């Protein structure tokens, strides 16, 4: 990388990106909310029977995320088990973004407990080094939220992620361009952001164990052997900045939403799933029309009585615009959105973090024939829809919603829009909307 070859003063940060990540975030929010819990083994996720976050005290006793509550109580009888309170977590999340925005306007709200900030060019303005700015942000976060964060500072997003994970908890790791190799030598390839288990296994078979092994592979080899997104990761490991921050404005512009209101309100999971499936098909059809794929999907239920949204936010393994890729994950998480005693009168699906790359063979181990076949099927679906109208061909999972449509002339509007989730409303659940939300992140991302 040319920047590194400069003689004289090393060029540490051609760009300066900070990544902050809350330590055991949900559990930490509970302790911040109720200081009597400080120093105790606390876990969240009681309502689902599976631990979604554990304090370090709980982890020290052998309790980890993903363990069943029953099992965890056996391991640790004194464990304090709490219902998830996504409203509170969402609130802490917004305060974290706001603290970051005091320093820089370029913020990517990547997840409920993590965000990126671009600090490039702020040294002069703030009269501080990049390390000092990053540490000031970390100090503000800890002091004001009473939660500790892992913080990474680096010339790009992938390396900043390496930094925020490097020391835990309450770590700060600065990775200047010239020093990146020693951090990469310490990091397993599978721990790199965006490298899934299949890709890691594949790279292992080529002798790649650490992130440094991968970074050292030749450009030609990497280009030929891995998919485009993995190639981008390789470039960032080598110090280039390839992935710009996805800021809120950009993201809200680049998202597609389909919603529907129905009557009477219901809590029938099958009916709700059918509505969501139809929302999803509509949103995906639009994405395909614009040749976009989504990295992230969220879906919500709007409750009849409390005017609350129950939201589930999912980060996808790879970008897609094919409903069947998303349906099963949605189905898995739907049960956790439905609350006992509550009925729902609207559903909606948002595709976000849209990318223009056509990734039909995005994962090394996905069967290319199968993927291409799926893409072809959806091309046909779109063709038929154009010729004969929407819903000529549809997923079995949407059938009930479509049948409902045809039976119920009173609600024949294409996609019902509720007052605050109209198609043109801010898509990222920002500002005033957030208060009404329970954000539920994909479990793979929070910890
Ligand atoms: Mg975290």
Q: What does the pLDDT look like over 262-290, one tens digit per residue? A: 888 999 999 999 999 999 999 998 888 77
Q: Does the structure show a pLDDT above 90 at 186?
A: yes
End-to-end Cα distance, the chain: 33
This prediction has a pTM of 0.59
Assess whether pLDDT exceeds 90 at residue 358: no
Options 3.40.1170.60, 3.10.20.30, 3.20.20.80, 1.20.1250.20; which CATH number does 25-84 get?
Answer: 3.40.1170.60
Q: Which CATH superfamily is domain 248-438 in?
A: DNA polymerase, Y-family, little finger domain (3.30.1490.100)
Distance 24 CA to ligand 1 centre (A): 6
Tell me what pLDDT residue 364 has.
Answer: 43
228: enclosing H helix or E strand:
helix 228-237
Q: How confident is the model at residue 7 (pLDDT cuts 50, 70, 90)?
A: very low
Cα 245 to middle of ligand 1, angstroms: 19
Residues found in the chain: 447
What pLDDT was estimated at residue 246?
83
* CA torsion through residues 17, 52, 187, 237, sign: negative
Side-chain-facing half-sphere of 33: CA atoms under 13 Å? 17
d(CA 417, CA 413): 9
Confidence of residue 427 (pLDDT cuts 50, 70, 90): very low
Which pLDDT band, with edges at 50, 70 and 90, does 391 fall under?
low
Distances (CA, A) of 138 to 40, 96, 120, 146, 301: 24, 10, 17, 11, 35
Tokens of 152: 């990474």
Is 114 one of the annotated active-site residues of the chain? Answer: yes
In this predicted structure, what is the pLDDT of residue 412? 29
Structure tokens at 249: 């404005």
Give 151 Cα–ligand 1 centroid separation in angstroms: 10
For residue 194, report the phi and psi dihedrals to the nearest 5 degrees. 95, -10
Residue 167: helix, strand or coil by DSSP? coil
Return the minimum-mean-pLDDT range out of 205-209, 401-405, 418-422. Answer: 418-422
Phi, psi of 345 (to 5 degrees): -120, 5
Whether domain 176-244 has CATH 1.10.150: the reply is yes
Residue 410: what pLDDT?
A: 31
Residue owning tokens 């898509």: 427
Q: What number is the average pLDDT over the span 167-195?
A: 96
**Predicted pLDDT of residue 13:** 95
Give the pLDDT confidence score for residue 362 in this predicted structure.
43
Alpha carbon distances (Å) from 389 to 18, 80, 384, 403, 418 = 48, 55, 7, 15, 24
Q: How close is the Cα of 114 to the center of ligand 1, in Å?
A: 6
Q: Which residue out of 30, 109, 114, 240 is catalytically annotated?
A: 114
CATH 3.40.1170.60, the chain: domain bounds: 25-84
Overall average pLDDT of the 39-53 stretch: 91
Which part of the chain has CATH 1.10.150?
Answer: 176-244
Higher pLDDT, 374 or 45: 45
pLDDT of residue 184: 98
Q: What is the DSSP letter of 175?
A: -
Residue limits of CATH 3.30.1490.100 in the chain: 248-438
Torsion of CA 344, 345, 351, 352, to 10 degrees: -80
Distance, in Å, from the CA atom of 217 to the CA atom of 225, rounded to the nearest integer, reads 11
- Enumerate the H helices of 16-156 as residue ranges: 25-33, 56-60, 69-75, 86-103, 122-126, 130-145
Average confidence (pLDDT) over 290-297: 83
Per-residue pLDDT, 150: 98
The string of DSSP codes covering 291-310 is T-EEEEEEEEEEETTT--EE
Assess whether pLDDT exceeds 50 at residue 81: yes
**Tokens 């549809």 label which residue?**
394
Output the CA 169–ligand 1 centroid distance in Å: 10
* 86-139 pLDDT, tens digit each: 888 888 998 999 999 999 999 998 888 999 999 999 999 999 999 999 999 999
Distances in Å between the alpha carbon of 322 and those of 280, 289, 375, 386, 387?
Answer: 9, 12, 7, 17, 20
The CA distance from 372 to 106, in Å, is 37
């Amino acid at each position: 990388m040319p920047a590194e070859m400069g003689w004289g003063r090393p060029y540490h940060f051609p760009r300066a990106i900070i990544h902050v990540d809350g330590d055991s975030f949900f559990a930490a929010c509970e302790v911040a909310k109720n200081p009597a819990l400080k120093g105790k083994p606390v876990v969240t996720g009681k309502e689902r029977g599976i631990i979604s976050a554990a304090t370090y005290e709980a982890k020290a006793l052998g309790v980890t995320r993903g363990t069943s509550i029953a099992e965890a109580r056996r391991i640790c009888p004194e464990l304090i088990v709490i219902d998830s309170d996504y409203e509170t977590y969402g609130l802490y999340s917004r305060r974290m973004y706001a603290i970051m925005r005091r320093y820089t306007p370029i913020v990517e709200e990547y997840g409920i407990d993590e965000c990126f900030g671009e600090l490039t060019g702020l040294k002069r303005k703030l009269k501080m080094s990049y390390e000092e700015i990053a540490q000031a942000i970390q100090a503000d976060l800890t002091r004001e939220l009473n939660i500790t964060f892992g913080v990474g500072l680096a010339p790009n997003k992938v390396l900043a992620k390496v930094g925020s994970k490097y020391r835990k908890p309450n770590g700060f790791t600065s990775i200047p361009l010239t020093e990146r190799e020693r951090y990469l030598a310490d990091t397993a390839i599978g721990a790199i952001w965006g490298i899934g288990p299949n890709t890691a296994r594949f790279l292992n078979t080529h002798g790649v164990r650490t992130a440094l092994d991968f970074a050292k592979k030749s450009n030609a080899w990497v280009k030929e052997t891995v998919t485009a997104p993995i190639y981008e990761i390789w470039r960032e490991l080598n110090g280039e900045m390839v992935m710009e921050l996805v800021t809120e404005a950009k993201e809200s512009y680049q998202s597609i939403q389909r919603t529907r209101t129905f009557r009477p309100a219901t809590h029938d999971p099958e009916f709700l799933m059918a509505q969501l499936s139809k929302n999803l098909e509509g949103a995906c059809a639009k994405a395909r029309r614009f040749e976009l794929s989504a990295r992230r999907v969220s879906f919500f239920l709007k409750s009849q009585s409390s005017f609350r949204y129950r939201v589930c936010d999912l980060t996808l393994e790879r970008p897609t615009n094919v409903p069947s890729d998303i349906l099963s994950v949605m189905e898995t998480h739907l049960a956790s959105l439905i609350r006992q005693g509550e009925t729902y009168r609207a559903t909606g699906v948002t595709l976000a973090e849209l990318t223009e790359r056509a990734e039909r063979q995005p994962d090394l181990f996905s069967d290319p024939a199968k993927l291409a076949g799926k893409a072809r099927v959806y091309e046909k679906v779109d063709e038929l829809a154009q010729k004969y109208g929407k819903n000529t061909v549809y997923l079995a999972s949407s059938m009930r919603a479509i049948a409902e449509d045809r039976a119920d002339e009173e609600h024949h509007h294409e996609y019902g829009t509720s007052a605050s989730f109209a198609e043109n409303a801010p898509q990222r659940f920002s500002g005033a909307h957030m208060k009404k939300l329970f954000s539920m992140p994909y479990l793979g991302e929070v910890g």
